[in-house]
Amino acid sequence: MDELNYKNYRIEAENICVDYHGKVALYDANLKLKAGQICGLVGMNGAGKTTFFNALTGFVNISKGKIRINGESLRIAQQDQSIAYVPQSEGIDSQFPVSVWDVVMMGRYGSMNILRSPRESDIQAVKDAIERVDLMELSSTPIGNLSGGQRKRTFLARAIAQRASILLLDEPFAGVDIRTEKLISELFMQFKNEGKTILLSTHDMIHVREFCDLVLLINKTVVAYGETSEVFTPENITSTFGGMSPDVLFGPES
Ligand SMILES: Nc1ncnc2c1ncn2[C@@H]1O[C@H](COP(=O)(O)OP(=O)(O)OP(=O)(O)O)[C@@H](O)[C@H]1O
């Protein structure tokens, strides 16, 4: 692939492998995503989805393969804050006395000086992000007092405040009510229109069909990858889920 073409990809993972203490969690996995694309990452429990996210953020080391973000090394992406990651469950202790505002402000830390004193632009970015997830009324509430769905929206706002071009979201719809699900779906369509690149894991077939342009089916390696309309077939889903049919997995309407 020539260098110019290379630069067109926001995310490029080529034959990546990850092992934990010699046990293989992911091997020969490939992914290429451009600006404005939404890709669903689908696989059963333990298939390597979180590992894939962790490899793309540099949280775990790859033992083989290559990752390029915006045509550059992962180190540069980490420096310029171009990737925001929203994990499935957050590591922040819910008893820790931080408010919604404080958590969202953390999304600005990477672009602040060592004293972390917010500039007007940081304050505006936090305000905009909280408004977008409709949490303004709760902005001074400690995160320990929020519901699971409100907390999820808070961490999504943190990613928005970071103004990253790439969003990695581990199970963004898990445990949220219909209203939050709708709000998150609408946000994703806005992100797409803004040219952001989104990789999200989900166990929900409807979400994949509804707004994922591409789908990556994994079971420790890539089972199938491509446009959702072509790749998200009952045969491929069955192979991904160890031989179980979509009807058994998701009900007869799937
Ligand atoms: N830190 C770790 N140390 C050792 N093994 C790990 C570690 N993290 C994950 N694994 C193993 O790697 C494999 C892939 O795990 P991973 O968390 O990536 O799966 P997943 O697809 O995200 O699963 P789920 O849908 O349950 O979240 C599993 O076998 C898991 O036990």
Q: What is the CATH number of the domain that holds 67?
A: 3.40.50.300
Residue-wise DSSP of 116-161: -PPPHHHHHHHHHHHHHTT-GGGTTSBGGGS-HHHHHHHHHHHHHH
Q: What is the pLDDT of residue 40?
A: 96
- Domain finish residue from 111, 144, 163: 163
Which residue has the least CA distance to atom 7 on ligand 1? 20
76 and 173 belong to one structural domain: yes
71 and 171 belong to one structural domain: yes
Sheet holding 23-34: strands in order across?
23-34, 9-20, 64-69
Which residue has the least CA distance to atom 2 on ligand 1? 20
**What tokens appear for 116 in the block?**
């972390």
105 and 181 belong to one structural domain: no
Query: Domain span at residue 72?
Result: 1-82+165-254
135 and 11 belong to one structural domain: no
173 and 110 belong to one structural domain: no
φ, ψ at 106 (rounded to 5°):
-60, -30
96 and 66 belong to one structural domain: no
Overall domain count for the chain: 2
195 and 208 belong to one structural domain: yes
| Per-residue tens of pLDDT for the chain, all 254 residues | 444 444 589 999 999 999 999 899 999 999 999 999 999 999 999 999 999 999 999 999 999 999 999 988 888 878 778 899 998 876 666 677 899 999 999 999 887 777 778 888 999 999 999 999 999 999 999 988 888 889 889 999 999 999 999 999 999 988 888 888 999 999 999 999 999 999 999 988 888 998 899 999 999 999 999 999 999 999 999 989 876 655 555 555 55
Q: What is the pLDDT of residue 186?
A: 93
- Domain finish residue from 112, 135, 163: 163
Mutation test of ligand 1: which of 21, 23, 218 has the most ligand atoms closer than 8 Å to its C-beta? 23
Apex CA 51: angle with CA 49 and CA 56, to 5°? 100
Any idea what DSSP says for residue 171? S
117 and 192 belong to one structural domain: no
How far, in Å, from the CA of 24 to the mean position of ligand 1?
10
Is 48's C-beta closer than 6 angstroms to any atom of ligand 1? yes
142 and 175 belong to one structural domain: no
54 and 177 belong to one structural domain: yes
108 and 156 belong to one structural domain: yes
Bridge partner list, 85: 168
Kindly report the pTM of this predicted structure: 0.90
Which residue has the least CA distance to atom 19 on ligand 1? 46
Is 154's C-beta closer than 6 angstroms to any atom of ligand 1? no
As for the ipTM of the complex, it is 0.97
Bridge partner list, 29: 16
Is 45's C-beta closer than 6 angstroms to any atom of ligand 1? yes
Q: Are strands 197-201 and 214-218 parallel, antiparallel or unpaired?
A: unpaired
72 and 133 belong to one structural domain: no
- Domain finish residue from 163, 190, 224: 163
Burial bucket for residue 115 (CB in 10 Å: 0-12, 13-18, 19+): exposed
Q: What is the pLDDT of residue 247?
A: 59
Q: Judge contact between 45 and 51, C-beta under 8 A.
A: no
